[in-house]
Amino acid sequence: MISPLAHISQGAKIGENCTIEPFVYIEDNVVIGDNCHIMAHASILSGTRMGKNNRIFHGAVVGGIPQDLKFVGEDTTLEIGDNNTIRENVTMNRGTASKGKTVIGSNNLFMENCHIGHDSVIGSGCIIGNSTKIAGEVVISDFAILSACVLVHQFTHISSYVMIQGGTGITKDVPPYIIAGREPARYCGLNIVGLRRRGFSNEAIKSIRDAYRHIYESNTIVSTAVERIKESGNITPEVEKILHFIEKESERGIIA
């Protein structure tokens, strides 16, 4: 299952039942879990820690050093979960001294030519579209979908169950359950299709819609909208997640 034409350093640890195709390059200080498939011309570089059942397609470079001038060779990692698909020419950088690691969850799809910057944290169940670029220290929560050619500014936070339209630039935080798009990035409604696919009830979706009417359709500042939501008494778990994101998780402020 391992081609003799692959270069695998002696310090790399390869799990059971892995397929490693010709011209794969694997450095020392790499751990690859069971049942992974590494395709031709992919590179798995020092500091990479990979779980089970991952597929790395042709030309991907996983675990490259950060594209950050403050990086001076410190010992950092790229940690990848299970069941991820990493398509052609994807690049993923390991961490810097800032956080020490870049973290990728499980069951994600990273489409062709996307980039994941240093110290970023990507949740599980996400789709990152073709040629989308994620800068350093970005957080993307579970089940977010970023379409093609999205540009995400450093330090931004994209919450869960979000859909980002293709070609959008993200410079502020994106709260949960919504569609974001246009230029500059704006609230474009609820991600209703995504919510229904994930099993959200009509009642839950209605509570989310009611909350965002306060935030985006009432011509008030966000802090006032948050107080109105609290006063309404309709604080479902979904609404609580919205409020927690705005008050506790967002550091850059949410999109308009």
Q: Which residue has the tokens 């069951």?
A: 107
pLDDT given at position 145: 98
Distance CA(216)–CA(187), nearest Å, equals 7
Comparing 233 with 245, which gets the higher pLDDT? 245
Active site residue 136: yes
b/e per residue 20-36 (b: at least 16 CB within 10 A) = bbeebebbebbbbbebb
* pTM for the model: 0.96
What are the residues whose beta carbons fall under 8 Å from the beta carbon of 198, sequence distance 6 or more? Answer: 143, 161
Active site residue 81: no
Catalytic residue among 115, 118, 157, 214: 118
Catalytic residue among 64, 105, 123, 136: 136
Active site residue 142: no
pLDDT given at position 194: 97
Q: What superfamily would CATH give domain 7-195?
A: Hexapeptide repeat proteins (2.160.10.10)
Residue (of 44, 37, 52) closest to 3 by Cα position: 37
Chain segment 174-232, per-residue pLDDT in tens: 999 999 999 999 999 999 999 999 999 999 999 999 999 999 998 899 999 999 999 99
Distance CA(175)–CA(218), nearest Å, equals 17
CATH topology of domain 198-249: Udp N-acetylglucosamine O-acyltransferase; Domain 2 (1.20.1180)
